[in-house]
C-alpha cells in the first residue's frame, strides 16, 4: 500500500520523494511530512512488507535493532527498486527521485541507495543506521551522491555504536556529498530538522 501527496501541477519534470516509515508504523506515518516539504515535489509513502503481530509493519527480519538479516533486507530492496521503476511512478522525473527513511526505514533507504546509487538523486537518512556489514557499503560507493543524514543526540532506540559506525562510513569512506546534522531530540523528527530537510530538497529539486 502507498499513500500519496501529489502537486496540483505535475508531469515528467516533477521530482519524487519515496518515504519509508519506521518499525511498527505504516504508509500513513510519514506522509504528513509532505505538508512541510517542497510543494512542487510528489511524495509516496510506502508500507513495509512484513506485518507485526502487535500491529504495524517492518521492512525486514532482524536479529536486533540495527542488525538486519541480509537476505530479508535485500528482498525488500529488490521489491522497492521494482516499484520505483514501475508504472506507479512513471509520470515523475526518474532522474530526480529521492528516498527518505526514518529509523528502520533509514536502514532500508540506505540499503536501496547502496544497491544502485545511480538510480536515485539522493537520500535523506534520519534516526537510524546503515547496514555497513552486508557487502554494499564499499569505499567510494556513493561518490558524489547527495546524502542528508541526521539523528537526535538523545536517541535511546538506535545503539550508539551503530550510529557511530554509520557516520564513519558516510564521512570517511562513502564519497557521498554529505550534509550531516544532530538535533537535541530523542528518536523523532523535530520541526527544525524538517525545515533543514525541506531546504536540502529544495536545493536539489
pLDDT reading at 66 higher than 80: no
Percent of the chain scoring above 70 in pLDDT = 100
18, 100 in Cβ contact below 8 A?
A: yes
Domain extents in the chain:
2-204
In the chain, what percentage of residues exceed pLDDT 90? 91
- Rounded mean pLDDT of the chain? 95
* pLDDT grade for 8, boundaries at 50, 70 and 90: confident
Task: State yes or no: pLDDT of 7 exceeds 80.
Answer: yes
Least confident of 29-43, 59-73, 166-180: 59-73
Q: What is the pLDDT of residues 108-120, one digit of tens each?
A: 999 999 999 999 9
pLDDT category of residue 51 using cuts at 50, 70 and 90: very high
Question: Rg of the chain over CA atoms, in angstroms?
Answer: 15
Q: How many CA atoms lie within 13 A of 134 on its CB side?
A: 24
Architecture (CATH level 2) of domain 2-204? 3-Layer(aba) Sandwich (3.40)
Contact predicate 20/99, CB 8 Å: yes
pLDDT by residue (tens digit) across 76-87? 999 999 999 999
Transcribe the chain into DSSP letters: -EEEE--SS--TT--EEEEEPPTTB-TTSSGGGGGGS-TTSEEEEEPPSEE-TTSSEESS-BSSTT-B-HHHHHHHHHHHHHHHTSGGGTTS-GGGEEEEEETHHHHHHHHHHHH-GGG-SEEEEES----TTSS---TTTTTT-EEEEEEETT--SS-HHHHHHHHHIIIIIS--EEEEEEES-SSS--HHHHHHHHHHHHHH-
Determine phi and psi for 58, rounding to 5 degrees.
Answer: -135, 170
pLDDT in tens, 160-204: 999 999 999 999 999 999 999 999 999 999 999 999 999 999 999
Q: Per-residue pLDDT averaged across 108-137, rounded?
A: 95
Q: What is the pTM (predicted TM-score) of this model? A: 0.96
Amino acid at each position: 500500500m502507498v499513500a500519496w501527496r501529489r502537486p496540483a501541477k505535475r508531469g515528467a519534470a516533477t521530482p519524487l520523494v519515496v518515504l519509508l516509515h519506521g518499525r511498527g508504523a505504516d504508509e500513513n506515518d510519514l506522509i504528513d511530512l509532505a505538508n512541510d516539504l517542497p510543494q512542487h515535489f510528489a511524495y509516496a509513502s510506502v508500507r513495509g512488507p512484513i506485518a507485526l503481530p502487535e500491529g504495524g509493519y517492518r521492512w525486514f527480519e532482524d536479529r536486533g535493532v540495527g542488525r538486519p538479516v541480509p537476505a530479508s533486507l535485500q528482498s525488500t530492496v529488490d521489491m522497492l527498486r521494482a516499484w520505483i521503476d514501475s508504472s506507479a511512478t512513471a509520470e515523475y522525473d526518474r532522474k530526480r527521485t529521492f528516498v527518505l527513511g526514518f529509523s528502520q526505514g533509514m536502514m532500508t533507504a540506505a540499503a536501496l541507495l547502496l544497491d544502485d546509487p545511480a538510480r536515485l538523486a539522493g537520500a535523506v537518512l534520519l534516526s537510524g543506521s546503515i547496514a555497513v556489514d552486508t557487502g554494499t557499503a564499499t569505499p567510494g560507493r556513493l561518490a558524489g551522491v547527495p546524502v542528508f543524514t541526521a539523528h537526535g543526540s538523545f536517541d535511546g532506540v538506535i545503539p550508539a555504536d551503530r550510529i557511530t559506525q554509520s557516520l564513519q562510513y558516510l564521512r570517511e569512506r562513502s564519497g557521498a556529498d554529505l550534509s550531516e546534522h544532530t538535533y537535541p531530540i530523542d528518536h523523532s523528527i523535530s520541526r527544525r530538522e524538517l525545515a533543514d530537510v525541506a531546504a536540502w530538497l529544495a536545493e536539489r529539486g
